[in-house]
Structure 1
Amino acid sequence: MGKNKKKAKRIAEAEHELVGSVAAAAEHKPVALLGAASEIADQPPLVALSVATIAAGLILRRRDITRTGARMLLAHALATGGKTILKRSIDRSRPARALLDGEAKVGAGKGADDTEFNSFPSGHTAGAVSVAEAVARTAPRLAWPARSGAAAVAAVQLPRGAHYPTDVAIGAVIGWTAERLAGAIIDAAERGFNRVREQRLESTALALAEAHPS
């Protein structure tokens, strides 16, 4: 176990040596503005967007839009759960903090709420990818803008000093996996709903036939 911790620390230090200095760009105004814009991928905005999509579908009586919103919401919830488990399991200083301390810290998670030491994985990336993939899978015409937006959110995490490349990569994997799982759950639920509806229709038709024999 000790060897694994030392290996993880060496990898973290090597990554910081390689790309940690990129976080110095966080002080530049364009990066700061892009970083602020990327907050749209924080949990509350993505949940609000998903709920708004569901509401729009219900109001317009568009099942496809409602389904997209439901898939977005479920995918985001699963991605949030996945990234939270990892954040609580691994403490890692964010690039900006590592530059300040002069040391890239990483170790077993202690459940600390200090956001400067929960760099791994990138929650913004996980959330953005999960929602973007849900949109792309259910509304192919919006696939390019959705995925491009998620990619932009992921990319800006490095210069803004919030995450390392591995944080972003694992966040993307979490988001992608969460969306696929959400899709499987929703598809299964729809199949079950359709079977129940068909059975009810058949029962109703049979009851009518018995009540009014020809």
Structure 2
Amino acid sequence: MGKNKKKAKKIAEAEHDLVGSVAAAAERKPIALLGAASEIADQPPLVALSLATIAAGLVLRRRDVTRTGARMLLAHALATGGKTILKRSVDRARPGRALMDGEAKVGAGKGASDTEFNSFPSGHTAGAVSVAEAVARTTPQLALPARTSAAAIAGVQLPRGAHYPTDVAIGALIGWTAERIAGVIVDAAERRIDRAREQRTEGAALAEAEAHPS
């Protein structure tokens, strides 16, 4: 266990030496603006976007839109759960904080509520990728803008001093995996709904035939 802890610390220090100084640009206006814009990938906005998509599908009676919204919402929920588990398991100082302290702190999670020490993994990246992938998989014509937006949100986490590359990479992996799981669940649920509808239709047709025999 001690060897693993030392190894993790060495990796964290090496990564900070390599890219940590990029966080010094966080206060520059362009980076600050991009960082603020990336807050759209925070949990409340993504949940709201997913629910709005479901509502739009129901109002417009567009099953494909409703399916997209459901997949977005479930993918985001799974990604949120996955990143939360890891954040509670690993305490890591964010790049900006590490620059202030002069030390890239990392260790086993202690359940600290201080957000300056829960850099790993990137929740914004996990959420953005999960929702973007849901859109891309269900609406191919929107795949490019969705994935480009997610990539931009992930990329800006470095200069804004919020995350290291490994934080972002693992966050993206969590989001991608969550979306694939969500897709399997949503597709299975849709098949069950279709079968139930078919059975009801067949039952109604049989009852009608019995009530009015030729």
> What's the TM-score bracket when you normalise by the shorter of the two chains?
over 0.9
Structure 2, unaligned runs of 5 or more: none
2:1 matched to 1:13? Answer: no
2:182 matched to 1:182? Answer: yes
Residue in structure 1 matched with residue 151 of structure 2 by the alignment: 151
Measured in 1, the distance between the counterparts of 2:84 and 2:194 equals: 34
Measured in 2, the distance between the counterparts of 1:193 and 1:57 equals: 17
- How far residue 154 of structure 1 moved from its aligned partner, in angstroms, is 0.2
Encode CA deviations 1:18-50: one digit per residue, 9 max, x unaligned. Answer: 111111010211101100000010011111111
2:187 matched to 1:199? Answer: no
Measured in 2, the distance between the counterparts of 1:57 and 1:207 equals: 32
- The 4+ residue runs of structure 1 with deviation greater than 4 A are none
Give secondary structure in 2 for the equivalent of 1:213: coil
Structure 1-normalised TM-score?
A: 0.98
Which of 200-209 and 71-80 deviates more?
A: 200-209
Measured in 1, the distance between the counterparts of 2:49 and 2:207 equals: 44
Give secondary structure in 2 for the equivalent of 1:147: helix
Structure 2-normalised TM-score?
A: 0.98
Pairwise mapping of residues 30-109 of structure 1 onto structure 2 (< 5 A)? 30-109=30-109
2:154 matched to 1:141? Answer: no
Encode CA deviations 1:131-184: one digit per residue, 9 max, x unaligned. Answer: 000110111111100000000000000000000000000000000011111110
CA RMSD in angstroms comes to 0.8
Which amino acid is the alignment partner of residue 16 of structure 1?
H
Residue in structure 2 matched with residue 173 of structure 1 by the alignment: 173
Encode CA deviations 1:117-137: one digit per residue, 9 max, x unaligned. Answer: 000000000000000001101
Measured in 2, the distance between the counterparts of 1:209 and 1:48 equals: 47
Which amino acid is the alignment partner of residue 146 of structure 2?
A
Which amino acid is the alignment partner of residue 179 of structure 2?
E
Measured in 2, the distance between the counterparts of 1:67 and 1:91 equals: 37
- How far residue 210 of structure 1 moved from its aligned partner, in angstroms, is 2.2
Give secondary structure in 1 for the equivalent of 2:119: coil
Encode CA deviations 1:74-126: one digit per residue, 9 max, x unaligned. Answer: 11111000000000000000000001000000001000110000000000000
Give secondary structure in 2 for the equivalent of 1:91: strand
Structure 1, unaligned runs of 5 or more: none
| Percent of residue pairs identical | 86
Which of 166-175 and 47-56 deviates more?
A: 47-56
